Structure formats: C-alpha cells, structure tokens
Amino acid sequence: MNKQEAIEEIKNLEGLTILDKTINFDSEMIPKKEVFNIINKIDEQEKTVVPQFVADWYEECKDYFDFNIYGFYKYFYSQGKHEEIKKWLDNAENKAIETLVKMKLYGYEVEKEKLYTVELPDPNGGGHVILCKNGDGTVSIAFSSVARWRGSKNVQLTESEIKKDFEWAWQFAKEVEE
C-alpha cells in the first residue's frame, strides 16, 4: 500500500460525527487503532543488500555522487584499483546504478558472507593444523589439540580472507553451518 491508498482508506473509515449547530461545530472522530493499522500497511522501501566489498567501496566514495550518479559511476569505473568493483559494475544482474541510487536514498545492509573453516592435512596426525585469524586480522596457520576447534570464531573465515594469502588451502575449506 502506498501513501495515497492509505489516505483513501482512512477517508473511508466509519466514524462518529459530532454536530453542534449552536456553536457551528462539526467534527468526525475515527478509531485511532484502525488508523494505525492502515499506516502499518504502508510499504517502506527495503534497504538494498550488497556484498561487503561494495559497501566498503561505497563508503570510500559516497560523497562524490550527490548530484551526478552517472558521472560517479564512470569516474570510479575508470579507476584501476577496484577490479572487484569493475566486475560488479559490469554484471548486468547487479543493476549497479539503480543499486547505488537505492543505497544513497534508503540505506543498505551488508550481505552476510558465508564462513568456512580450513583444516589442513597433517601426515603426523597429532592434532589439527588449521587456518585462524589473529588479533590483527591476518590469517595464519595454527595448531589445535582441541577437538571442538571449529566452534571458535577466529577459525571461521570468509572466502576472501582464506584466498588472500592461502589460495592453495581453499580446496580444504568446509562451510560453517549455522
């Protein structure tokens, strides 16, 4: 339901009319609860959901396209440092300009990335050789003697975190189940 439809529905509500001809008073009262029910039916624009890299890029350069979205698009498309963004902009399914406008007008949410754990083969079999995120955000190879290591947040990594320095280990990645 849009705003105009809501107005029409409120106009059509049955109410109580109070007329007092002595003081020239004419008023109609309608139930507040019914008005709130109609207002709650009004469609709110949903926030656009975008991948993390798009959100990062948008935050980096959102101030440049207040008035000219096409110029913004062309300028940042021509920048060589954003290969992942270029691929996203070129993908017709993304409707990039429309998505950017919606991000500007209605806000956005970041798409929840899939998380993976990586256990590397250990020929010695004395525990678990795994990839884990350090306190500074870098990923490194670690050893765990604990059987429940998969439940730890620092071993749940995104695809890009794994592939950044350990692309060869991607073959051992297992998706984390919610």
Domain boundaries, position 140: 116-175
pLDDT of residue 70: 63
Say if CB 6 and CB 38 are below 8 A apart.
yes
For residues 53 and 19, state if they share a domain: no
pLDDT of residue 58: 83
For residues 135 and 160, state if they share a domain: yes
Kindly list the distances between the CA atom of residue 105 and the CA atoms of 47, 71, 81, 108, 167, in Å, as whole numbers in the listed order: 9, 17, 26, 9, 38
For residues 103 and 62, state if they share a domain: yes
pLDDT of residue 174: 93
Confidence of residue 73 (pLDDT cuts 50, 70, 90): low
Alpha helices in the chain (DSSP H): 3-11, 32-41, 52-61, 69-78, 83-90, 96-106, 159-166
> How many domains does one find in the chain?
3
Global confidence as pTM? 0.51
The residue type found at 46 is E
Taking 90 as the threshold, does the pLDDT of residue 29 lie above it?
no
Confidence of residue 35 (pLDDT cuts 50, 70, 90): confident
d(CA 6, CA 11): 9
